[in-house]
Chain A
Amino acid sequence: MNRTSMRPKFFTTFFGLLMLFPFFWMISSSLKNSVEAFATPPTLFPKSPTLENYRKVFELLDMPRLFLNSIAVSVTVVFIQITTSALAGYAFARLQFRGKNAIFLIYLATMMIPFQVIIVPLFIEMRQLGFVDSYLGLGLPMIASAFGVFLMRQAMLAIPRELEEAAILDGASHLRLFRSVALPLCIPTIAALTILSFMSVWNAYLWPLLIIFSPEKMTLPLALANLHGENLTDWPMVMAATTLTVLPIAIIYLILQRQIAQSFLTAGLKG
């Protein structure tokens, strides 16, 4: 390593630490008492660390319940979305039927519709169906994804014909072929899709905000956003709540770092 390349490395590291600093500040603030948290000059580390803010969070919010809500909604929606996407992807990649191209074009066109554009009629529809303030209303719009179908089709197009023909000669049905040949060969794409759609459901804010009202049905982002009230906000307590929410996700990220980056690229380059 020569001397000229030391300087950019220093800057990159410095900015890397700067990128992490808001997270550090979040944790540090969450461990301060309400006097120290607002102090001038600000202290980098809490002088006398306290868990008081965390106690307040658990008093104000049913955190285990919120975590369970978020996990239940995300896991269910993602599982159904992957299943419906894989099934349609298989049909478009491996089956011959009338109107195949026309129907696939409808899927492609659907990918161009931004969710923000349809929130008003979608809400009215859910209201007519009686699904407002329910997980059905929250989850139904996300159980199918045109993008997911598109990705699964790409993956299933790559399966060699010979594998399929051998199985058909053995008398396997397409459902069996789908389950025991196509799905196992598409695991990388399924993993990428799982990560992407899990993150989008887990982090969703706009649709839950419109459709869920009861505190006991709220997902994490919704309940957290409500902590910031109209009047005085207890920021150290809010930071304790966000710390509790970020930590599990950050740990999962550190474990799956490469796969997560890869799934973002898959989405970016193919979509």
Chain B
Amino acid sequence: MIKAKHGRTAALFIAPSFIPLVLFIILPMFAAAVLSFSSWDLLSPPRWIGLANFQELIHNKDFYNALKNTLIFIAGYLPLVYLLGLSAALALDRKFKGSSALRAAYFLPVITSWVIVALLWQWILNPQGGLVNSALATIGINGPGWWTSTSWSMISVIIPSAWKDLGFVMLILLAGLQSIPPEYKEAAAIDGASKRQILFRITLPLLTPASFFVLVISLINNFQVFDQIWVMTRGGPEGSTSVIVQQIVKNSFDYGRMGYASAMSMVLFLIILLITGIQIRLQKRWVNYE
């Protein structure tokens, strides 16, 4: 066999995607790694400073706060979006009149941009005259400051995020549910299993591949959470919704600390790499493929 028989043709077919990928993704990735060991304000030439950026990161309160907030965001968002998405998937896992219209209703926020979702909920949760506080005031309750209050701001960004992504989780879980052979449930029902037993002993265990996928993709996406938080709170008030990517943007574009921001990027990259690595290792052990 002549292995290289299409060498020139292949080069022509591959170059249009390979060159941009090298220039605009792979090269910046290496640059981020190198920059993370240097100090650069874009005005004077970059200086190599070794591990100083990472040493600063470890002791920096703002970064620690952003890392903590990102974890709190995920800890609030993930159970909410998963349980609601799972309920929707279980409820819509059969055809009835209006079921496809309902699926569309659950999915509409998924295709809406984060900017619009953020603006929409900011208005609903507006402390003065927003729907929620006006409704609360009608029954005599003085509503909280939501996204303007340090204690409610995180909840105010978690709710819209779960609302937007719920339909996506539902879609993935629905596909998972539909791949479970109906015979299993039928056999269990004939043997006298209750609906609850079928759900917990058959449906949910067989749904683990889809659930695992949702978990991994949500973790990877939400360590990078930015858009909705930037629009709603800019990371405030008083840093109460400050997250990793917001710190990267702030340090690089507001303070001109390119090296320090790159060190943060590398930490983010390592976190995501770690999640992917764990996924690959554990997939075979945890996930029940029948």
Which A residues have a C-beta under 8 Å from some C-beta of B? 1, 8-9, 11-13, 15-17, 19-20, 22-23, 25-26, 29, 37-42, 83-85, 87-88, 90-92, 95-98, 100, 103, 106-107, 110, 112-114, 116-125, 127, 140-141, 143-146, 148-149, 174-175, 178, 199, 202-203, 205-206, 209-210, 220-222, 224-225, 227-228, 235, 238-239, 242, 245-246, 249-250, 253-254, 257, 260-261, 264-265, 268-269
A22 touches B124 (CB 8 A): yes
CB distance from A80 to the nearest CB of B (A): 8
CA distance A2 to B221 in the complex (A): 41
A20 touches B108 (CB 8 A): yes
B65 close to chain A: CB less than 8 A: no
B81 close to chain A: CB less than 8 A: no
A selection of 19 A-B contacts at a CB cut-off of 8 Å is A12-B88, A25-B124, A29-B123, A37-B129, A96-B5, A119-B248, A120-B35, A120-B248, A174-B13, A206-B230, A206-B245, A221-B116, A222-B115, A228-B119, A246-B116, A253-B104, A260-B111, A268-B175, A268-B217
Chain B residues in 8 Å Cβ range of A245: 113, 116
Fill in one digit per residue for B16-54: 1 if any A CB lies within 8 Å of its CB, else 0: 111111011111110110010000001000000000000
Question: Which single residue of chain A is at the shortest CB-CB distance from B221?
Answer: A114
B200 close to chain A: CB less than 8 A: no
Given contacts A17-B105, A97-B7, A146-B21, list 5 more A-B pairs with CB under 8 A. A22-B124, A97-B10, A98-B4, A117-B269, A245-B113
CB distance from B199 to the nearest CB of A (A): 12
Among candidates B27, B115, B118, B268, residue contacting A125 with C-beta atoms closer than 8 Å: B27
Q: A84-B20, A242-B120 are in contact. Are A23 and B108 (CB under 8 A)?
A: yes
A95 touches B226 (CB 8 A): no
Q: Is the interface of A mostly helix, strand, loop or mixed?
A: helix
CA distance A222 to B115 in the complex (A): 8
CA distance A254 to B25 in the complex (A): 35
